[in-house]
């Protein structure tokens, strides 16, 4: 990513683990200004900063944009000494917000990143002005028991790797977009690259099977009072729209918008509409 003029693209060490991030339209002189909008973008499972490549230039015209590669994805660390839990992912987001001394941020999460946004808002509501959930994960439990115990089998990460290879990036992208004509060589390369010739990510994903604690409970979701916008694709095959409607019902201060002929990967499919919805929502 990092193709715009003068972004900061580097890693930040949190609890001994390298976290890659990209920072757009940022200056130290402006960080203390209460008028400066700050957008923090959190990607979904098997994704990275790349998934927000269309939203970043739109939002960076409105304020500072911080995009994070959650480990073990993208360019972040993939060490086996890290606990790949949603709680730790939320701690990464909170730590980076506090490191840059951002205040009253707009938290934008896609898919799994939406769940991490809810975790972060639950843990540090004073840092979050509003939340935008894009086809967010919701109400998923821990990994099934047989999968949990299978992950301890030696070389299980190679089974995970073969499963990914068998499906292939083209089929994976076809499953998450409504209009397959959106898929081009650049898109395929961007989503495939972090997994190419890299066994470490498959070892880390195997560990994540054990570490992931599951989504927030319905009661925990109901306790979140931060104003929230939910945007959904009506043809989402990964996280059906009924999940979004249930989240909307449980979140005490929320607005729900859906789009026809749109799938799960909405930051790629309808970025301009998402941008318009966000700007209308935050006022």
The pLDDT of residue 30: 55
Q: What is the model's pLDDT at position 6?
A: 77
Give the per-residue pLDDT at 19.
Answer: 96
pLDDT on residue 61: 95
pTM value is: 0.92
Maximum pairwise Cα distance, the chain:
53
| Active site amino acids | 111, 264
Per-10-residue mean pLDDT of the chain, 283 residues long, equals 74 91 84 76 96 98 97 94 96 96 95 98 97 97 72 68 76 94 94 84 91 95 98 97 98 97 98 98 94
The top-level CATH class assigned to 8-142+213-282 is alpha beta
Buried b (16+ CB within 10 A) or exposed e, 209-247: bbbbeebbeeeebeebebbbbbbbbebbebbbbebbeeb
pLDDT reported for residue 83: 94
Cα–Cα distances (Å) from 117 to 16, 49, 76, 198, 244, in that order, read 22, 15, 18, 28, 15
């Amino acid at each position: 990513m990092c193709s715009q003029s003068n972004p900061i693209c580097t890693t930040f060490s949190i609890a001994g683990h390298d976290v890659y991030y990209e920072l757009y339209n940022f200056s130290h002189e402006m960080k203390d200004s209460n008028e400066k909008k700050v957008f923090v973008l959190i990607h979904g499972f098997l994704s990275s900063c790349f998934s927000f490549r269309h939203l970043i230039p739109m939002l960076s015209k409105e304020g500072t944009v911080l995009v994070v590669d959650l480990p073990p994805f993208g360019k972040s660390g993939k060490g086996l000494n890290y606990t790949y839990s949603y709680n730790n992912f939320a701690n990464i987001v909170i730590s980076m917000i506090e490191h840059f001394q951002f205040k009253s941020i707009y938290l934008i999460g896609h898919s799994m990143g939406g769940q991490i946004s809810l975790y972060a808002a639950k843990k540090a509501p004073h840092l979050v002005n509003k939340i935008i959930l894009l086809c967010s994960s919701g109400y998923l439990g821990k990994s099934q028991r047989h999968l949990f115990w299978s992950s301890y089998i030696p070389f299980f990460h190679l089974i995970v790797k073969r499963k990914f290879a068998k499906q292939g990036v083209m089929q994976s992208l076809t499953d998450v977009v409504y209009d397959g004509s959106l898929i081009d060589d650049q898109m395929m390369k961007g989503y495939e690259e972090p997994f190419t010739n890299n066994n470490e990510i498959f070892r880390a994903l195997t560990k994540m099977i054990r570490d992931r604690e599951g989504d927030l409970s319905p009661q925990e979701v109901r306790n979140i009072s931060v104003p929230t916008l939910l945007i959904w694709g009506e043809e989402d095959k990964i996280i059906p729209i009924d999940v979004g409607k249930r989240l909307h019902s449980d979140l005490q201060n929320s607005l729900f918008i859906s789009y026809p002929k749109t799938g799960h990967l909405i930051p790629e499919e309808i970025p301009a509409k998402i941008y318009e919805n966000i700007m209308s929502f935050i006022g």
